[in-house]
Structure 1
Amino acid sequence: MKRYGVATRIRTELYRRFISIVRWYYNHFWGTHIGEGTRISLTAKIDKTFPDGIRIGKYSAVTFRTSIMTHDFVNNVHLPTTIGDYCFIGAHAVIMPGVTIGDHCIIGAGSVVLRDVPAHSLAFGNPARVIERNIQTGLYGARIRDGAPAETAPAAQSAADQADTMPAHA
């Protein structure tokens, strides 16, 4: 197990708490459905035209300047966009409306995802294409190679994470 300095551990804990507040904000004020432990960059663009259509599973990572769309004004449609559990969405990726990305997927940086991506897949490009199947990912979409130990979800939830699991008031 790696040992980090006190400053690094404090910074990491503050970041986790802050990101859980961001997730809580999106879920409670905008009506998105973002799972426990999911990390979303502050520069990621979450479509607020149809926020109820944003569904992101648990322990996924949405990196900087990613756009997750739920509306298509050209065709006048609003479609739910779903990202599974334990996924990694690379920087500057664009996830188009109506797309479903399965559990344990990795989407490469700069990819434009126009079609569904099956679970346990690695996809990238413009348009994004599945280039590898049957991959396994752990926390935040980190790839697990054969024989490598998987990082597990944190055992204890912070107060902000517990607030995410409480039912929303109507």
Structure 2
Amino acid sequence: MRKTERYPVKGSNALWQIYKTVPFLKVLKNFVVIQIARYTPIIPVKNWLYRTFLRMDIGEQTAVALMVMVDIMFPERISVGRNSIIGYNTTILAHEYLIDEYRLGDVIIGDEVMIGANSTILPGVTIGDGAVVSAGTLVHKDVPAGAFVGGNPMQVIYTKDQMDKRKQLSKIDDI
């Protein structure tokens, strides 16, 4: 189960009531900053925009690729460790609006994580240090440190121990 906080709503669906949950000017500012960052090819500038205007925690040497879409309403709930890569057109959500409730959850991406292109990360998920998420993956639950995951829904393809054994066998083959 993902780690999210639930907030029930009455009457119309939760998204219809969006500006009761997040200020309009915050959404407008975040929209502008995110759109600039999505198209900015200079990674240090992109990270500065995320840190300064969106209050995201972005580690040193982390590279966020072109067209990555971070949560427009709650980007401050996203944390990415050092020396990680977020692939092209990935979506990182810290919220989900449903009919009778909305949910918020922190997204924590560890150090030296590789997230493949066109992946979607749902709220309340932690991706452990050294994990690899294959392209096009729906990350709907926590990813163990060092694991290689992929698919929709996400499945563990290799654990850290299995990955280490593969690397050792590869080194033996090279000899």
Confirm or deny a common fold (TM above 0.5): yes
Q: CA deviation at 1:105?
A: 0.4
Partner of 1:104: 130
Partner of 1:72: 96
Instruction: Write 1 or 2 for the structure with the bigger share of helix.
Output: 2
Partner of 1:22: 46
What's the TM-score once normalised by structure 1's chain length?
A: 0.69
Q: CA deviation at 1:42?
A: 2.4
Partner of 1:145: 167
Between structure 1 and structure 2, the one with the greater Rg is 2
Specify every segment of 5 or more residues in structure 2 that has no aligned partner in the other structure, as ranges.
1-40
Is 1:51 paired with 2:69?
A: no
Partner amino acid, structure 1, of 2:167: R
Contact 1:70 1:80 (C-alpha < 8 Å) held by counterparts: yes
Q: CA deviation at 1:68?
A: 0.5
- d(CA) in 2 for partners of 1:19, 1:145: 30
SS in 1 for 2:89: coil
Partner amino acid, structure 2, of 1:100: T
Partner of 1:92: 118
Q: CA deviation at 1:26?
A: 0.4
Q: Output one character per residue of 1:97-124: Cα deviation in whole Å (capped at 9) or x when no partner.
A: 0000000000011000100011010000
- d(CA) in 2 for partners of 1:18, 1:28: 16
Contact 1:122 1:130 (C-alpha < 8 Å) held by counterparts: yes
Specify every segment of 5 or more residues in structure 1 that has no aligned partner in the other structure, as ranges.
1-16, 137-143, 149-170
What's the TM-score once normalised by structure 2's chain length?
A: 0.67
Contact 1:30 1:48 (C-alpha < 8 Å) held by counterparts: no
Is 1:31 paired with 2:55?
A: yes
SS in 1 for 2:148: strand
Q: Output one character per residue of 1:79-105: Cα deviation in whole Å (capped at 9) or x when no partner.
A: 111111001100100000000000000
Q: How many residues align?
A: 125
Q: CA deviation at 1:41?
A: 1.1
The runs of at least 4 consecutive aligned structure 1 residues that moved more than 6 Å come to none
Partner amino acid, structure 1, of 2:119: A
Partner amino acid, structure 2, of 1:145: K
RMSD, aligned CA: 1.8
Q: CA deviation at 1:48?
A: 2.1
Partner amino acid, structure 1, of 2:97: F
Q: CA deviation at 1:51?
A: 1.1
% identity of equivalent residues: 35
Partner of 2:144: 118
Partner of 2:155: 129
Q: CA deviation at 1:47?
A: 0.7
